[in-house]
Every structure is written in structure tokens, then in C-alpha cells.
Amino acid sequence: MTEAVSFQEKLPFEWFVGLRYFRARKRQGFLSLITVISIAGVAVGVMALIVVLAVMNGFQSDLRERILGVTAHIVVRSLQGSIPDYESVVNEIGSISGVKITSPFIYLQGLVSTGGRSSGAVIRGIDVSHGRSEMIAKNIIMGKIEDLDKDPSSPGIILGVELARQLNVHINDVVNILVPSGRITPVGQVPRSRPYRVVGLFQSGVYDYDQTFSFVSLREAQQLAGMTDRVMGIEVWLNNPDEAARVAPILQEKLGYSYWVRDWMQMNRNLFSALKLEKTAMFIILTLIVLVAAFNIVSSLIMLVMDKSKDIAIMKAMGATASRIRRVFMLVGLFIGICGTVLGMAGGFLLCGILKRYHFIELPKDIYYISTLPVRVEFLDVFFVCLAAIIISFTATIYPAHQAAKLDPVEALRYE
């Protein structure tokens, strides 16, 4: 008890009185209830902001990883439509610092059919001898990527799991590929068609990719496209995907303007811009919860000023200045905001931990890119959320504190 008294005696006047007013007495039960509601309002707002921003960060991060697991960091295309001497271009790109893997590719749109079932698909021809196969191999859940070139007489194909499910095919089943870019005949252009044996299934985790993508060897894709010694483009993987925006202009300058160089951020700009805009909009909308709690702080402080008018008058009569009285009530409101912010931050971390560990919220895969609710807490977001909550809480104290500072001690003590 002596230690507590000595501690309070060491506090400045404003802090001492502010802490006394913040701690409600038994006879001030109604004021205590309003204070608790104010703290709870700030806590709910902070918790909601932290959880929603963590989910949106997790969604963006997870989507980014899944997209980079299927698409290249940089894609090089020729303005002529195809690259004839692609091996020399591959070697030239590989000499640039930061480049990890280069791989020529052919990209076709066609029809995959079997047993009366058919579906549109994207057929990508990849060179198994290049490092591109390593990027695809980690997403393969059945079969091996080397089987694409294993038997030239029976060429293989790797299908996305959703595409295979739609066609009702399994490993070693035969599907027929039909592409519109065929040979020219006297009766017009005849589509090319060829049977392929399913040698593998891959799952990227992105529903649209798993439903439409399929892979064949580069040699088979060249035959389907009628490009025996050419490719449509070159895929480039970097040691660090975030360096794509820096490396892409270097590639463009090195290869010249007869080539078209795009990085993965440019190819998915609309998607990530929409996610960033949505995150900003949710921050602004959910901040309104904290603003509602700020009105509770205003009402709580106004009632506190009315209840403590006699105390304010006595303090002024004893020499307390208006600025010191103002700081007392500002500190009371600030204590409410800080308590609510701390409780909300703890609740937000707890709820994020639960959502991250127990995936009890499932998303429809045909609507969203992912099947479970991802969570990723970024401490910079938490800092700005807490800072915004404290600033709003402090702003809410200005008017009640100003009214307390204006109180005339003579009028307050006239009938006492």
C-alpha cells in the first residue's frame, strides 16, 4: 500500500487525477458502464480491422504464390509472333544477373475431348530439358513430368485436376487434342488433331488454372502449332520474383524493341490493383467502428465533467490552470483509447491465430482462387490500425476537455 501511494505521489498532477477518474468508484456505476462500453467499442473496431486486413494480406500473398507457381516471372515474346533462333535468345537472357531459369514455350488454345466429353483448354508446350520442368514438377500430384517425352510413339499430356475431373479421365487414359491452327487445304484450313496419353495430373491451387491448363512437350506443341523450329516465347524465372520490375527493362534494352517483355506484376496488374483498392476501402469502412466508439468516449467524458464539476472547481480554486484541467480529461479519454486498442490488438492476434490454425471457414473454389481463408498478419498494418485508433480516441477528448477547462469555479460552488 505504501509503495502504491509513493508511486502515485511521484506522478504529475494531470496523470494522478486522470488515473483516479479513469478508475470508477462503486457509487459511479453508470459512468463505469459507459467507460466499459467505450473501451469495448474501440476494442471491437481494432480487432475487426486487424482480422480483416490480415485475411486480405493472406489472400493476396497466397494468390501471389500460386500464380508464381504456374506462370513465369517474366515473359519474352516477339513482335513477329514467333522466335526462330530461340536457343541464342535463351542464352542471351540467361547471361543477365538475377536470372535463374529460362525456358522456351508454345501457347495454344484448343479442345480436349474423350468419350463424348469435351472442354476448352490451354495447351502449353514446355521443354523438359530446361529448368521450367522443375517449376511444374512441384505442382504435379500424380505422374512425372519426364513421361511427356518418354514414348515418342505415344506422346503424353499432363492435365489440371479440375480439367481431368470434368473429362472424367485418369492416368493412362487417352484424350484427343484439337487445335484450330491447322494446315491449309483446297477446301480451307483443316484443324490439327492428335491423341495423347494422360501421364500426369497437376494442382496449382488456383481453380481457373487447374480447370484449363494442360502441358505437352515442346516438340509436340511445335507440331500442333506448325512451328517446327520456332517458339512463341521464352519464360524467365528469377532468383527473387520481386526483382522482376527491375530486370524486365534490362531485358527489353538488351533484346531490342523487336521483342515484347512483360513481368508478372504487369500481367496481373488489374487483379493486384483491385486487391489493394479493396484493402484500402475496407480499412476506411471499418475505421467507422472506431469512430462510433469515439462518440461513446465523448459522451462518457461529458458525463464525467458534469459529475466532477465540484472537483474541477476546487482544483481551480487551489491554483490548477485551465490547461492542466484540460490535460486531465484528455488523459482520461486517452486511457480509454489505449485500453481498447490493447484489448482489440490482443483479440485480433488471437482470432488470427485461430483462423490460421483451424481452417473451419471454407470458400467455394469455383468463385475464389483458394479454398480456405488465408491469414497473414503484417505488423505495419497493425501499427497503423493502433495508431489510427489512438488518434481518433484522443481527438474525441478535445471538446469535453475544453468544456471542463472553461468551467467557472464560482458557478460550480455557488450552491454548495
172: left (phi over 0), alpha (psi -120 to 50) or beta: left
Cell of 257: 524493341
pLDDT band of residue 1 (cuts 50, 70, 90) is very low
CB-based contact 230:83 (threshold 8 Å): yes
* Residue pLDDT, tens place only, 365-400: 655 656 677 888 888 989 998 998 899 888 888 888
User: What is the identity of the amino acid at 95?
Assistant: S
* Residue pLDDT, tens place only, 69-117: 777 888 888 888 788 888 888 888 888 888 888 888 888 888 898 888 8
Q: Is the pLDDT of residue 118 over 90?
A: no
CB atoms within 10 A of CB 176: 15
CB-based contact 148:193 (threshold 8 Å): no
Biggest distance spanned by C-alpha atoms of the chain? 112
CB-based contact 328:17 (threshold 8 Å): yes
The DSSP call for residue 147 is G
d(CA 106, CA 357): 41
pTM for the structure as a whole: 0.71
Residue pointed to by grid coordinates 504464390? 65
CB-based contact 286:392 (threshold 8 Å): no
* Residue pLDDT, tens place only, 152-165: 778 889 998 889 99
Three-class SS of residue 359? coil
Residue pointed to by grid coordinates 487414359? 173
pLDDT value of position 343: 93
Return the CA Rg of the chain. 33
d(CA 295, CA 290): 9
Cell of 355: 483462423
CB-based contact 215:139 (threshold 8 Å): no
d(CA 386, CA 372): 27
Cell of 35: 467507460
In the chain, where the domains are located:
11-66+271-413, 80-256
